[in-house]
Amino acid sequence: MSLTLERDVRLTAEHSSHATMEPLSGRFIERVPSASNRKSPFLKQVFQKGHFHFWRWKLSLDAFRRNTAFHGCGDRRLDLAPDRVVFDASNHWSQKNLWTQDNPPRELGGDWDQLENLETINATLLTSFQQHFLDGADWTTTDFHRSLTQRINNGQPTGGPQTHAELAIWLNQWDELACQIKNSASDATSTAELNDRWPEVSLAVRRDGRLIALTNAPVVALATVLGIPRIPCRVAMRHTKWLEFCREFLCYSETLHEGRPYQPCTHIDLADLSSSWSEQRFQIIQECLKEGSGRLMDIGANLGYFCHRAEEIGYDCTAVDPCPKLAHFMERLKLSENRHFEVLCSSILEHPFEESYDVILALNIFHHFLKKEDRHQQLIAMLGRMKTKEMIFQSHNARESQMNGAYRNYSPEEFVKFILDHSCLKTAEYIGSDQDRPLFRLRAE
């Protein structure tokens, strides 16, 4: 097996540290503290927190000084999964007259994106569409219809019809669209042709990156109810604080190996950034995740890409990474995509594994524990504690210069055998390769 590898980006001082503090909204939460950390002097912990906050301040200052132009995905049309759109602000925006299709502000600060000004798509709107289109309830019995009727009676904006006659016509149009979509689906019409029949959803991006429907929010609910995978969308506006975060992320990425993110980003405004690794690994791994349910842990999660993708198909995920800087961005990117996986900023070598997992991902990470004898022994102990039904393992290249002088330096096959010998896993199979680094599926049964 030929293994010509690039240097692993995670071979940094950040990843070789034993940091156990996780940043979250400017605070630190201690995760899985080691015995040595529990005995650390108070001043040492204060220094660690201060060092992180100084880094945050310096990063913000660097991004401000550069003032790099960043427009994300711009205003081009996007075909998005309906669950990516979280909020509905059509009523609020109509009432405040803050936005029109003819002249929308591309960037806007302020409190327009605060939760009190928004409704979640999965509340009244989605429930009412489920009752009408799936259960056969009449529109007049739904909370959606009652809410619109009340607004019309009170002279309030609705983000759509303004009279009772217009409301009847408007609801009939949604019924006709649903009928067309159902008929098209039965005729095996392509996804692109289906999307052309949908009204386009205008979006705004909140300060935390989550997406808001400014117009045509019912498209999101209808597509969800009918199981339509993609809907046409276009971003009309972004909060200035979200753009500030994106610029900070770009500045940080430039400090990494190759001057770019290690993993792909899933958010629409960051998805076009080039990364050291492509989506090919997940395409290989996905064949092993067909069950689409269970608990998954990603060791050395970096930006959390694999947890984003695994949660998308139904897994309950935990992302583990010892680097506070990466954990900070992982938390922010998780929120921007409205994901729910857990982020642990800690060393996997100290993880107690009190709970079992269905799948553990260990991609280009275990070889960092081969370089010193004590780390090698900790790896053996961790493998003995590990509880999992299977592991997706990606090995390093034993010929890499970073492994010169390492305590142990296994070939891919030797590394697989080492893991089997010291863990609950019993069998292994080769499942593919990316950038000449082989991937294996190890199973307990």
3-state SS, residue 106: coil
Decide: residue 405, CB within 10 A, 0-12 exposed, 13-18 middle, 19+ buried: exposed
Q: What is the pLDDT of residue 35?
A: 45
If one counts the domains in the chain, the total is: 2
Residue 248 belongs to a domain = no
Burial of 162 (0-12, 13-18, 19+ CB in 10 A): middle
DSSP-derived secondary structure for 208-254: TS-EEESS-HHHHHHHHHHT-S-EEEEEEEEEHHHHHHHHHHHHHHH
- The phi, psi pair for 10, rounded to 5°, reads -80, 0
Q: Are 231 and 195 in contact (CB under 8 A)?
A: yes
pLDDT given at position 197: 75
Residues listed for the chain: 445
231 and 219 Cβ atoms separated by less than 8 Å? yes
Judge whether 420 lies within some domain: yes
Which pLDDT score is estimated for 120?
87
Of 180, 212, 211, nearest to 196 by C-alpha is: 180
Instruction: Look up the pTM and report it.
Output: 0.84
SS3 343: strand
Residues 310 and 345 in one domain: yes
Number of other CB atoms surrounding residue 190 within 10 Å: 9
DSSP for 145-198 reads HHHHHHHHHTT---SS--SHHHHHHHHHHHHHHHHHHHHHHHTT--HHHHHHTS
Q: Given this model, what pLDDT does residue 98 score?
A: 52
> What DSSP string runs through 12-80?
SHHHHS---EEEETTEEEE-S--HHHHTS-HHHHHHHHHHHHHHHHHHHHHHHHH-----TTTT-EEEE
Where is the domain boundary, 243, 269, 290? 243
Given a contact cutoff of 8 angstroms between Cβ atoms, the answer to whether 301 and 322 are in contact is no
266 in the same domain as 206: no
Average of per-residue pLDDT across 414-418: 98
**Predicted confidence (pLDDT) per residue in 217-258, tens digit:** 999 999 999 999 999 999 999 999 999 999 999 999 999 988
At residue 195, the pLDDT reads 62
Query: Using an 8 Å Cβ cutoff, are 75 and 236 in contact?
Result: yes
Place of tokens 């921007």: 336
Q: What is the mean pLDDT of the chain?
A: 86
The verdict on 213 and 349 lying in the same domain is no
pLDDT at 161: 87
Tokens 């599926």 — which residue? Answer: 441
Within a domain: residue 365?
A: yes
86 within a domain of the structure (yes/no): yes
User: CB under 8 Å to 141, separation ≥6 — which residues?
Assistant: 131
Angle between helix axes 412-422 and 373-385 (nearest 10 degrees) is 50
What is the rounded distance in angstroms from the CA atom of residue 56 to the CA atom of residue 50? 10
Q: Residue 414: which CATH number?
A: 3.40.50.150
Q: Residue 327: inside a domain, yes or no?
A: yes
More confident residue, 379 or 179: 379
**Dihedral sign, CA of 228, 229, 232, 236?**
positive
Please check whether residue 23 is in contact with residue 52, taking contact to mean a CB–CB distance below 8 angstroms.
yes
Q: Give yes or no: residues 57 and 83 share one domain.
A: no
Residue 159 vs residue 121, higher pLDDT: 121
Nearest to 23 by CA among 307, 365, 234, 324: 324
* pLDDT tens digits along 163-183: 999 999 999 999 998 988 888
| 270 lies in the same domain as 385 | yes
175 with 300, same domain: the answer is no
- Assigned domain for 43 exists: no
CB 333 within 8 A of CB 267: yes
Provide the residue type at 418 as one letter: F
The residue whose two tokens read 């709970």 is: 355
pLDDT, average across residues 272-278? 95
User: Is 93 found in the same domain as 236?
Assistant: yes
Confidence bin at 14 (pLDDT 50/70/90) = very low
Residues 83 and 208 in one domain: yes
**In the structure encoding, which two tokens stand for residue 45, read together?**
């912990």
Query: What six digits make up the tokens of 132?
Result: 């009408």
**Do 235 and 271 lie in a common domain?**
no
Q: Is 88 helix (H, G, I), strand (E, B) or coil?
A: strand
Host domain of residue 404: 13-36+50-64+258-443
72-130, pLDDT tens digit by residue? Answer: 898 899 999 999 999 988 766 554 555 555 566 789 999 888 887 788 887 788 999 99
Residue 13 has pLDDT above 80, yes or no: no
Own/partner pairs, 27-34, CB within 8 angstroms, 24+ separation? 28/52, 28/324, 31/344, 31/345, 31/346, 32/344, 32/346, 32/347, 32/350, 32/351, 32/352, 33/346, 34/347, 34/350
Q: Does residue 72 sit within a domain?
A: no
Structural tokens at position 277: 């690794």
Q: Are 51 and 359 in contact (CB under 8 A)?
A: no
Domain boundary (192, 218, 243) is at 243
> Which of 243, 267, 297 is where one domain is finished?
243
| pLDDT given for residue 186 in this prediction | 56
- Tokens standing for residue 303: 């930006």
- The predicted structure's pLDDT at residue 160: 78
pLDDT digits (tens, 9 = 90+) for 47-62: 888 888 898 999 999 8
Q: Are 217 and 262 within one domain?
A: no
340/214 same-domain check? no
Residue 126 token pair = 């989605």
* 163/271 same-domain check: no
